[in-house]
Chains A and B, each alone.
Chain A
Amino acid sequence: MAENHAMTPHALAHHFDSLDQQREAGTLGMWVFLITEIMFFGGLFLTYILYRSKFPHEFVAGSHALDIRLGAFNTAVLIGSSLTMALAVYYSQVGSRRLLVTYLTLTMLLGLVFLGVKGIEYTEKFEHHHFPGADFQWEDPAQAPALDGNPGAGKVDGRHVEMFYWIYFAMTGLHALHMIIGAGLIAVLIVLAVRGRFTAEYHMPVEITGLYWHFVDIVWIFLFPLLYLIGRHE
Chain B
Amino acid sequence: MEKWIPFIPERASTVAGRVDALYFFLVGVSVFFALLIAGLELYFAIRYRRRSPGEMPAPVRGSMKLEMLWVVIPFLISMVMFAWGSSLYFTIYRPPKDALDIYVVGKQWMWKLQHLDGKREINELHVPVGRKIKLTMTSEDVIHSFFVPAFRIKADVLPGRYTSVWFEATKPGRYHLFCAEYCGTSHSGMGGWVTVMEPADYEGWLSGGRAEGSLASTGEKLFQDLACVSCHRSDIQGRGPALKGLFNRPVRLEGGQTVIADEGYIRESILNPRAKLVAGFPPIMPTFQGQITEEQLLQLLTYIKSIGPEETPAAPPSPEAQAPSGGAGVTRKENVKQ
Contact = CB atoms under 8 A, between A and B. Distances in A.
A–B contact at 8 Å CB threshold (below): yes
Interface residues of A, number: 13
A155 B254 CA distance: 12
A155 B286 contact: no
Interface residues of B, number: 10
Contact of A144 (B272, B282, B285, B287): B282
B324 interface: yes
B120 interface: no
Nearest to A146: B284
B119 interface: no
B233 interface: no
A152 to B, nearest CB: 5
B115 interface: no
Given A147-B324, A152-B287, A157 B274 contact: yes
B286 A151 contact: yes
A150 B284 contact: yes
Contact of B272 (A146, A151, A155, A157): A157
A165 B286 CA distance: 24
A202 B62 CA distance: 46
A148 interface: yes
Interface in A26-67: 55
B324 A153 contact: no
B283 interface: yes
A153 B286 contact: yes
B284 A147 contact: yes
A144 B286 contact: no
Interface in A135-181: 144, 146-148, 150-157
Interface of A: 55, 144, 146-148, 150-157
Interface of B: 272, 274-275, 282-287, 324
Q: For the complex of A and B, list the 5 residue pairs with the smallest distance between their C-beta atoms, beginning with the closest.
A: A152-B286, A147-B284, A150-B284, A153-B284, A152-B287
14 contacts: A55-B275, A144-B283, A146-B284, A147-B282, A147-B284, A147-B324, A148-B284, A151-B286, A152-B286, A153-B283, A154-B274, A155-B274, A156-B274, A157-B272
